[in-house]
Amino acid sequence: MLEVYKLTKRFGERIALDGVTFRVGRGETLAVMGPSGCGKSTLLLAIQRLVRVDSGEIWFGGEPVMHLKGEMLRRYRRRIGFVFQRQQLVGHLDALENVLLGPVLAGTPERKARRLAEQALEQVGLLSKARDFPATMSGGERQRVGIARALAMQPELILWDEPTAALDPMLVDDVIEVMTALAKQRSTAMIVVTHELPFALQVADRVVLMERGAVVGSGPPREVLFGGEGEIARRLRRLYEVRYGGTSLPAGRRDDRTERSDEERRRTIPAGRSILAM
C-alpha cells in the first residue's frame, strides 16, 4: 500500500535521508530503528508530506503523491494517521475536541464524527476523561489521546514517531499495549519508529534499520536484529542482552505467527497489560 523509493533529504550539509527505499503492505507493521538523528522522524514527516524532500518518490495505494497540492494533499494526509513523540495536542481543546478535530474538519457529519471520536477514546481507555484538558492529564494519557486522534480518522496507515520516548517508564506499557492491540487487529498498516526492542521483535512484521539517513538492514525482525553483522545490529543485540538478560531470544513474529497463539504472544511482551477490548 505504501512504497517509498530513493527518498533523499538534506538539511544543509547534513544528510537526513539518503536514498531510502522500502514498502509496507496493507495491515503490515513495520518497525524503523536506528540511532538518534539517523533520519527516522524525517522519514515519517516526509511520508505524510510534512517536510519537502529533495528527491525520491512515494506511492500510496498505487498512486504517486509527491505532486499533490492543496485539497488533494490534505485528503492524502487524512488517510494517514500520525502519532507524535510529544503528543502535540491542542492545549485549549479537551480530549474529545482534540480527537474530533480531524473527522469534523474532514467533512464527516458531526454526529458520526462524535461517535468515531468516542469509539477511539474508548479504544485507548480514555472515554471517561473525554472532557479533560491535556494540561490535567498524565503523559501516558496525553499520548493515548494522540493515538485516539489518529484512530478517529480511520486511517489506512498510522505513522508512530517514537510514541514512548517522551514518557515516564511507568507509562510506557499503556502505550505499547495500545500499539500491540492495533497491530494485532491488522486493519491498519503501521510504521513505528521505536527503540523498544521487544516490541519490534514480537509485534513488527518487518524491521528497517537506518544509519546516517540510509537503510542498512531490512527484513524479519529476528533476522535483521540478531542475524545482521552491521554495527547497529551488534549494538542492538548488546543492548537487548543488557536490558532483558541472557541471550535467549524470543521468536520473531512473522516466522511463527501461525504457530503461536495470541495469548502466547501477549505474554512475551514485557510488562504488557490487557485493558483493551479486542
Partner 1 sequence: MFAFARDGYGREIVALFVLTVLVTAAVAGGAGAVADLWFKSAVESLVGVPGEFDVIVHLQAQAGRGAVRELGERLEAIAPGTRLKEGPALLGRFNVFAGLPGEKRNAATFESLDAALRDLPGFDGISYIVEPSVLVKDAHPAVRQRFVDEAARDPRVRFTFQRGGNVWVVAEHAEAAEGVRARLEEAAGRLGILDVRFAGPHSAEELAVFARSVEEAAASEYPAIRVAHLGSGDSESVRDLLEVKRLLAGVAAADWQGLRRTLEQAEAAVAEAAQDSTVREDIAAALDAFEQAVAQLETLERRAVQLREQLKEVAGSDGGTGVLIALLLERLAAGLQGGQQEAAAPPAVDVERLKSGIASLAERLASIESLDFEPVIDEVRRLEESLAPLKDGAGERFLELIDKAIEAQGGEGTRVEFLLEGDWTRVDPAALVEEAAPGALKAFVRPAAAIESDPRTALSRLLARAVGAVRLAAGLLASAIFFLLDTVTIVSFLQLRPDGTGWAPRPRRAAAAALGGAWMAATFGAAAWLAGGGEWWAALVLGFVTGWLLACAAHRVAPVDADEVQAGLSLGLGGGEILREIVVPGGRPGILIWLNHFGRRIPAAARR
Q: Under rule CB under 8 A, which residues in 11-50 are in contact with partner 1?
A: 45, 48, 50
Burial 181-218 (b: 16+ CB within 10 A, else e): bbbeeeebbbbbbbbbbbbbbbbbbbbbbbbebbbbbb
Residue 166 binds partner 1, judged by CB under 8 A: no
Rounded least distance, CB 236 to partner 1, Å: 28
Q: Which is nearer to partner 1, 95 or 209 (CB)?
A: 95
| Member of 16, 43, 113, 167 binding partner 1 (CB under 8 A) | 113
State which residue, 52 or 261, has the beta carbon closest to partner 1: 52
- Contact positions with partner 1 (CB under 8 A) in 123-152: 149
Q: Which residues contact 87 (CB under 8 A, 6 or more apart)?
A: 134, 139, 142, 143, 145, 146, 166
CB of 185 to partner 1, least distance (A): 22
Piece of the chain touching partner 1 by CB under 8 A; list 57-65, 105-113, 224-232, 254-262: 105-113
Q: Which of 34, 39, 102, 228 binds partner 1 (CB under 8 A)?
A: 102
Pick the closest to residue 268 from 221, 209, 224 (CA basis).
Answer: 221
C-alpha cell at 25: 503492505
The identity of residue 50, as a single letter, is L
**Using the rule CB under 8 A, is 110 a contact of partner 1?**
yes
Beta strands in the chain (DSSP E): 2-11, 14-24, 29-33, 55-60, 63-64, 80-83, 157-161, 189-193, 206-211, 214-219
> Does 93 help bind partner 1 (rule: CB under 8 A)?
yes
What are the residues whose beta carbons fall under 8 Å from the beta carbon of 170, sequence distance 6 or more? none
Q: Give the pairing of strands 2-11 and 14-24.
A: antiparallel
Number of residues that bind partner 1 (CB under 8 A): 36
**Cell 485507548, located at residue:** 124
Q: What is the C-alpha separation between 218 and 228, in angstroms, rounded?
A: 10
Q: Tell the smallest beta-carbon distance from residue 161 to partner 1 (Å).
A: 10
Residues 219-278 within binding reach of partner 1 (CB under 8 A): none
Return the residue of 6, 14, 26, 92 that touches partner 1, per CB under 8 A: 92
Specify the 3-state DSSP secondary structure of 13: coil
Beta bridge partners of 207: 31, 219
- CB-side exposure of 29: number of CA atoms within 13 Å? 24
Nearer to partner 1, 89 or 236 (CB): 89
Cell of 275: 485493558
Q: Is 9 in the site for partner 1 (CB under 8 A)?
A: no
CB of 60 to partner 1, least distance (A): 13
Q: Tell me the closest approach of the beta carbon of residue 270 to partner 1, in angstroms.
A: 30
Single out the residue of 54, 55, 63, 105 in contact with partner 1 (rule: CB under 8 A).
Answer: 105
Which residues are near partner 1 by CB under 8 A? 45, 48, 50-52, 71, 74-78, 80, 82, 84, 86, 88-94, 96-97, 100-102, 104-106, 110-111, 113-114, 149, 153
